[in-house]
């Protein structure tokens, strides 16, 4: 049998940090208002010249270095992003060129905040097919570009960044199970309802969100999809060593852990310093916990995403 394993991870965060206090000087909000409702203290914001592929590049190089591999070893590139560099070509193709490699398939996945989990599940299946041996999966976002900075209900929630993981074919299971879902009937509760037509923006180019509806649905589906993924392996929530949910809101993360019966000590939380980086949030958190030694070889990690679409999914991995 052919399986896939995560053999390296990497991160990239723009150097510019914007604190809650700095946002409070620009809009009707406060550090206390943001922290008590979201758990966020600060976020990283890309410079105007930085694109998603610019952030993806150092994250990818770091992941390849951690894996002891060269870009030429990669035979599949998947980039999860809702903020691509261009309409086309894909951010994955642009990243491929920046890595200096040619020929392997490269494509984007658009599942918003579930994007990295979707990408990981897809890459695992490509490797299990036997046609690919080394996949680079990246979540990269510059969400600051699609925020209405006059709307305190959304602007304070998001940040920019990129996280990457390298999957390699192996005889031992690394990716143990995955489950992906979507329900387009919930599109209205989290969206950027605009597009470009005839050189002009039609609709709205800014993120719109019904926070209460997102909270309720997110906790429900994150609980369900984690249990569904565990059931594929004959495991229960007691078998999880670490839970890394999408880093959208500290209250969503804690409510999900409570519903699953997982102790807070098993949570990896980065939303306080990164804010919501959409598709980048899960790989950023995974990389941090691997590098600081919390996640150790042989441990089981549940990765979960939920986002606009509405999309959700989970991947259980053994490190």
pLDDT in tens, 258-306: 999 999 999 999 999 999 999 999 999 999 999 999 999 999 999 999 9
User: What does the alpha-carbon distance between residue 65 and residue 61 come to, in Å, rounded to a whole number?
Assistant: 6
Mean per-residue pLDDT, 175-198:
97
| Structural domain for 167, as ranges | 3-171
Torsion angle, alpha carbons of 13, 14, 15, 17, to 10: -90
Q: Are residues 63 and 24 in the same domain?
A: yes
Q: What b/e sequence results for 161-178 when a residue is b if at least 16 CB atoms lie within 10 Å of its CB, and e otherwise?
A: bbbbbbbbbbeebbbbbb
Q: Are residues 202 and 283 in the same domain?
A: yes
Bond into 310 cis (ω within 30): yes
Domain count, the chain: 2
Q: Are residues 66 and 181 in the same domain?
A: no
Q: Are residues 42 and 84 in the same domain?
A: yes
Q: Are residues 102 and 199 in the same domain?
A: no
Mean per-residue pLDDT, 48-54:
97
CATH number for the domain spanning 108: value is 3.40.47.10
Q: Are residues 17 and 94 in the same domain?
A: yes
The percentage of residues in the chain with a pLDDT greater than 70, rounded to a whole number, is 100
Which residue numbers are catalytic? 113, 246, 276
pLDDT at res. 154: 96
> Does the pTM of the predicted model rise above 0.95?
yes
User: What does the alpha-carbon distance between residue 165 and residue 139 come to, in Å, rounded to a whole number?
Assistant: 9
pLDDT in tens, 85-116: 999 999 999 999 999 999 999 999 999 999 99
Mean per-residue pLDDT, 212-229:
97
Q: Are residues 189 and 161 in the same domain?
A: no
pLDDT at res. 296: 97
Q: Are residues 206 and 154 in the same domain?
A: no
pLDDT in tens, 16-28: 999 999 999 999 9
Query: What sign results for the dihedral spanned by CA atoms 260, 264, 265, 270?
Result: positive
pLDDT in tens, 127-167: 999 999 999 999 999 999 999 999 989 999 999 999 999 99
Secondary structure of residue 118 in the 3-state scheme: helix
Q: Are residues 43 and 105 in the same domain?
A: yes
pLDDT at res. 132: 98
Q: Are residues 185 and 311 in the same domain?
A: yes
132 Cβ partners below 8 Å, 6+ apart?
Answer: 75, 76, 123, 126, 169
Of 151, 171, 191, the last residue of a domain is 171
User: What does the alpha-carbon distance between residue 86 and residue 196 come to, in Å, rounded to a whole number?
Assistant: 12
Bond into 89 cis (ω within 30): yes
Report the candidate in 106, 124, 235, 238 with the shortest Cα–Cα distance to residue 180: 124
pLDDT at res. 106: 98
Average pLDDT in the chain? 97
Of 171, 202, 218, the last residue of a domain is 171
pLDDT at res. 319: 97
* First vs last C-alpha separation in the chain: 18
pLDDT at res. 251: 95
Of 171, 203, 231, the last residue of a domain is 171
pLDDT at res. 200: 95
Q: Are residues 195 and 148 in the same domain?
A: no
Q: Are residues 302 and 187 in the same domain?
A: yes
Return the half-sphere exposure (C-beta side, CA atoms, 13 A cut-off) of residue 234.
Answer: 0
């Amino acid at each position: 049998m052919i399986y896939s394993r995560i053999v390296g991870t990497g991160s990239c965060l723009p150097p510019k940090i914007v604190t809650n206090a700095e946002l409070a000087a620009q809009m009707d909000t406060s550090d206390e208002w943001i922290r008590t409702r979201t758990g966020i203290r600060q976020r990283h914001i890309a410079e105007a010249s930085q694109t998603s592929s610019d952030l993806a590049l150092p994250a990818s190089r770091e992941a390849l270095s951690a894996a002891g591999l060269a870009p030429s070893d990669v035979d599949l590139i998947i980039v999860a992003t809702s903020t691509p560099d261009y309409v086309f070509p894909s951010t994955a193709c642009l990243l491929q060129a920046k890595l200096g490699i040619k020929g392997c398939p490269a494509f984007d996945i658009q599942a918003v905040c579930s994007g990295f989990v979707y990408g990981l599940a897809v890459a695992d299946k490509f490797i299990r097919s036997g046609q690919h041996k080394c996949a680079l999966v990246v979540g990269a976002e510059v969400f600051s570009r699609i925020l209405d900075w006059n709307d305190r209900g959304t602007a304070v929630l998001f940040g920019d960044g990129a996280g990457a993981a390298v999957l390699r074919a192996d005889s031992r299971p690394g990716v143990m199970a995955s489950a992906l879902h979507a329900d387009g009937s919930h599109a209205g509760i989290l969206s950027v309802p605009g597009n470009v037509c005839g050189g002009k923006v039609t609709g709205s180019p800014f993120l719109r969100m019904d926070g209460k509806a997102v909270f309720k649905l997110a906790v429900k589906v994150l609980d369900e999809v984690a249990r569904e993924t565990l059931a594929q392996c004959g495991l229960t929530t007691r078998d999880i060593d670490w839970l890394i949910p999408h880093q959208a809101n500290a209250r969503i993360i804690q409510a999900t852990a409570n519903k699953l019966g997982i102790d807070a000590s098993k949570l990896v939380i980065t939303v306080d310093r990164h804010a919501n980086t959409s598709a980048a949030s899960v790989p950023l958190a995974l990389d941090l916990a691997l590098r600081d030694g919390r996640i150790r070889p042989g441990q089981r990690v549940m990765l979960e995403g939920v986002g606009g679409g509405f999309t959700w999914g989970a991947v259980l991995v053994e490190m």
